[in-house]
Amino acid sequence: MDLKQYFQSYENYFWEWTTDQDVPDNTGYNENNLISIPNIGTIAYRAYIIEVLKEFQLIGLPALNPLLLALYATNEGYLDLKGIKIEMRKNPLTMQKYVGDWIKPAFQFLETLKSLPNNYKKGRNRILLLQTIFSNEFDAVSVKQSEYILNEYLRNPQKIANSAQKIALTVGTFSSDLRILASLNRKFPAAAIIIEAMKGFNDIPELEDEVIQEETTIENNKDFIQELIEDPKTFQVGSLIKRIWSGLKIPMRHLSPGEQPIGGISDMTNKGELSRMLLSEFANEDEVFMNRVANNEALYIQREIPPEENIFERIILIDTSLKNWGTPKVLAFASAIAVIKHPKAHSECKVFALGQTNVAISLDKVEEVVDNLNQVSPVLEVSSALDRFFQEEHKEKDLEVFFITHQENLMNENIQRTIHENRDRLKFLVTTSADGELNFYKHHKGARKHVQKIVLPLKELWANPPQRRKNRDNDASSSGKITDLPLNYPILFPTPTHKIAQFLYEGEFFILSNKKQLLKTYLSDNYYNRDYYDYYKTYHGSEVLIENISLKPRGQFALAKNKQQQFILCQYQPDKKLISKLNVNTKEYSDLNVTGQNIPADSRLIYFGRSFYLFHADVPSIFKINIDGNISIESVKNDAEIQKNDTKALAEISRLNYNGIKILSNFSKIGINTKGNLVVSGNELNKNYENSINFIKNKFEIKIFAEQNKNKFTFPDGSEIITDSRGMLTFKSSNGNIPTFYIPSTEQGFLSLSTNVEFGGSEYYLPENTLLKVKKMEDMYSEYLEKFINQILEYGA
């Protein structure tokens, strides 16, 4: 099998090669850069498909057509598998024996893939998923042929044009594709079985890694690296770090020119004052002594300089473009963590992910490593982001920058130019490759020098992932499951300060938060007590309507409801010329590329009169976008009423601009301090003001600690506090006479205290339509919180 045969497209089949003119390819061949399903949607760009296939190079490429269907079934957003199935049933070849019978089980398997939780269909997990289902596949291409096909593409990507010329579909090809999917349906009849197979992938005892003997790792770092190794999601990264340490020759500390080792031969010089001459010189005969002094041969003790360390700000830049995806990205993150957590590294280090923009990231926790490993930028190379980093964001000179990228990216002219122009501040260049090779380069006096090459035996290091952990429900000492949280509470959540967008719809205010939640809030000045909480005379908290909305936080947004009263979120991305619609209730998604349409650059996406619009005040006609059904646009006359309504809407929405409070969401230690007050993550719940409570910085020692189990903190008496990172604390006392009550967790402002029937404190947290009985905060504090704390203290006594 050659390149043309593998990527061959067929007449009247479900997919075809197409061209997206707005997305250049780093190979220089920009035609046929996208595989799509006619009249349905995109499967994937060619660059992404090639990177996926590289992950199969060592085990053999799977048959392309089943792989494309699997990729489509694991895409984000709305998927029309039913439409593909109908089109394939129309094919005359389905009348052949067995072919038609295989369509149903084949699409049952695709529906199973579609039903998998989203976290199994993203980033490295998606690769593991594909490797799991297509491993040991009987129609896989041999390893030797796989290598030949990929090398042929890399040498001459233009050959894809031959494959793009459609040929007639044969019964053999059609039946083979369906047979593979039908067999996978027998092998993986349910999503749970696929997940179990993914978790058990190469499930053999853990490998003992080499540990460097040069210096013992700081205990925290050692624990952290071990956590990475033991977690299946970060095992590949963690297992490489100690091996990188054992060969790493990058200096971890920089000494100033004057700070050399004091004492010994290195401290001697042939010039100096007479008082600093070595006593042994005076033992020479007079003529020899004078000779040595005259010829600068006499030895002196060098002037001692107090130790002084050059302070360089160390920054690591990780390329997250498509080229540095997959195994190279794993190597990139392992290299970054190896530098940050090296035993000799004592200085702080900042890390940025480079893609379309520069995003500061943290790699101090396992969860942070998992999240950032899933970052994939759609750009093909990051020269613009790298250039922006040096020219606009970090102009200072005393930087020590590491740039980690794929080896092939060094051939890109834009990357070469940016590296050359900033070589004085780009001290180290680290390149990765799919076969485990790391190369370290150093820029010194304008020249690039190859420092070292580390070849990591990936097969050996990754052959023994950690054994699956036992069921934590049967292990009392384990951290257990996260305690379930309700969607909402009797009181409102604090409104977050960071928002993606805010809307006014039919007189009601909605917020799209950075946590991808749809929130509802309201404004009023109807207060029970005007003497307090003056700052919140207008604002109120929020209730959560929908969580985990699948979207990318970019571009413009508008919100409306369809005829079924379901929320429709419209998104316009001007840079991509893409308009999309998402039904946030049913997750149905549709998009439309508007390249070629005459849309003014500063058009805004708005809602008016049962439709969305790309609005611009100064043009005679604008584009109207439907709310119901699949997305479509039409050019309509620009009505003055639209502008009038938009002006009013903007004025109303602007009232939400300052409706945000800093939420206490990262919970660590919870306990009771010596003052008898509750302490949450270093903040004391205080009653300094009359009829109010708030969090202030704790200054007293904690004498009773609560034991943490995920998001549940349990005191010795059995009383519990359940934390919610959205900004709420739930109190459950071991004393049955004290009902469950709730307190918001914010780092500023007056708080409230509420049970399921009574409320006290800042009416910022009071719902708009509520049956809660309003009482003074003093009464609520003494009746609930004080009794809750006393119950814990009395048990300890």
The amino acid at residue 13 is Y
Distance between CA atoms of residues 670 and 477, nearest Å: 19
pTM: 0.44
Top mean pLDDT of 259-268, 352-361, 546-555 is at: 546-555
Distance between CA atoms of residues 34 and 37, nearest Å: 10
Any residues with CB less than 8 A from the CB of 411 and at least 6 apart, and which?
none
Is the pLDDT score of 258 beyond 60? no
Say if CB 485 and CB 493 are below 8 A apart.
no
Is the pLDDT score of 613 beyond 70? yes
Any residues with CB less than 8 A from the CB of 272 and at least 6 apart, and which?
300, 301, 302, 303
Distance between CA atoms of residues 385 and 358, nearest Å: 6
Q: What is the radius of gyration, based on Cα positions, of the chain?
A: 32
Backbone angles phi, psi at 545, to 5 degrees: -95, -50
Q: Tokens at residue 637, please?
A: 């006359």
- Of the CA atoms within 13 Å of residue 379, those in its CB half-sphere come to 18
Tell me the mean pLDDT in the region 233-254: 77
What beta strand segments (E) does 278-342 contain?
300-301, 313-319
pLDDT for res 498? 86
Pick 366 or 265 by higher pLDDT: 366
- Burial code (b: 16+ CB inside 10 Å, e: under 16) for 26-50 equals bbebbbbbbbbbeebbbbbbbbbbb
Handedness of CA 104, 107, 112, 114 (dihedral sign): negative
Could you tell me the CA-to-CA distances from 452 to 246, 248, 255 in Å, in that order? 13, 8, 22
Say if CB 499 and CB 658 are below 8 A apart.
no
pLDDT tens sequence across 745-770: 998 788 999 999 999 998 889 998 88
| Cα 148 → chain centroid | 34
- DSSP for residue 482: P
Q: How many CB atoms lie within 10 A of CB 378?
A: 15
pLDDT for res 306? 47
The amino acid at residue 699 is K
Say if CB 664 and CB 681 are below 8 A apart.
yes
Q: How many CB atoms lie within 10 A of CB 375?
A: 16
Mean pLDDT for all residues in the chain: 82
Q: What ranges in 156-234 are assigned the alpha helix state H?
A: 160-164, 171-187, 191-199, 219-230
Distance between CA atoms of residues 712 and 731, nearest Å: 10
pLDDT for res 396? 63
pLDDT for res 207? 25
pLDDT for res 257? 46
432 has which bridge partners? 406
Say if CB 174 and CB 93 are below 8 A apart.
yes
| Longest CA pairwise span in the chain (Å) | 114
For every residue of 132-172, DSSP letters joined together read HHHTT-TTPPPHHHHHHHHHHHHH-GGGHHHHHS-BPPPHH
pLDDT tens sequence across 556-603: 999 999 998 999 999 999 988 899 999 998 888 899 998 888 888 889
The amino acid at residue 439 is N
Q: Tokens at residue 714, please?
A: 């349990």
- Architecture field, domain 219-253+309-462: 3-Layer(aba) Sandwich (3.40)
593 SS3 class = strand
For every residue of 702-761, DSSP letters joined together read EEEEPEEETTEEE-TTS-EEEEETTTEEEEE-SSTTS--EEEE-BSSS--EEE-SSEEEE
The amino acid at residue 107 is F
Is the pLDDT score of 532 beyond 50? no
Is the pLDDT score of 639 beyond 60? yes
Domain coordinates in residue numbering, the chain: 3-199, 219-253+309-462, 265-301, 499-656, 670-796
Angle between helices 81-89 and 64-73 (to 10 degrees): 140
Nearest CA-CA partner of 256 in 302, 303, 313, 311: 311
Distance between CA atoms of residues 246 and 461, nearest Å: 14
Q: Are strands 621-625 and 633-637 parallel, antiparallel or unpaired?
A: antiparallel
Say if CB 560 and CB 627 are below 8 A apart.
yes
Distance between CA atoms of residues 138 and 2, nearest Å: 18
Nearest CA-CA partner of 182 in 115, 109, 112: 109
Is the pLDDT score of 209 beyond 60? no
Q: Tokens at residue 505, please?
A: 């719809």
Distance between CA atoms of residues 266 and 470, nearest Å: 58
Residue 666 burial (C-beta neighbours within 10 Å; 0-12, 13-18, 19+)? exposed
pLDDT for res 252? 58
pLDDT tens sequence across 62-100: 999 999 999 999 988 778 888 888 878 777 777 665 667
Distance between CA atoms of residues 215 and 154, nearest Å: 43
Residue 484 burial (C-beta neighbours within 10 Å; 0-12, 13-18, 19+)? exposed
pLDDT for res 474? 39
pLDDT for res 489? 95
Compute the C-alpha angle 478/480/481, nearest 5°.
165
Angle between helices 123-134 and 191-199 (to 10 degrees): 100
Top mean pLDDT of 206-210, 305-309, 538-542, 718-722 is at: 718-722
Nearest CA-CA partner of 538 in 523, 522, 556: 523
Residue 596, Ramachandran bin (φ over 0: left; ψ between -120 and 50: alpha; else beta): left
Q: How confident is the model at residue 490 (pLDDT cuts 50, 70, 90)?
A: very high
Distance between CA atoms of residues 438 and 18, nearest Å: 36
pLDDT for res 756? 93
pLDDT for res 270? 80
Pick 460 or 745 by higher pLDDT: 745
pLDDT for res 687? 85
pLDDT for res 220? 47
182 SS3 class = helix
Q: How confident is the model at residue 13 (pLDDT cuts 50, 70, 90)?
A: confident
Nearest CA-CA partner of 140 in 41, 64, 212, 49: 64
Is the pLDDT score of 279 beyond 90? no
How many residues can be counted in the chain? 797
Say if CB 20 and CB 41 are below 8 A apart.
no
Distance between CA atoms of residues 533 and 692, nearest Å: 9
402 has which bridge partners? 316, 428
pLDDT for res 98? 62
- DSSP for residue 663: B
Is the pLDDT score of 415 beyond 80? yes
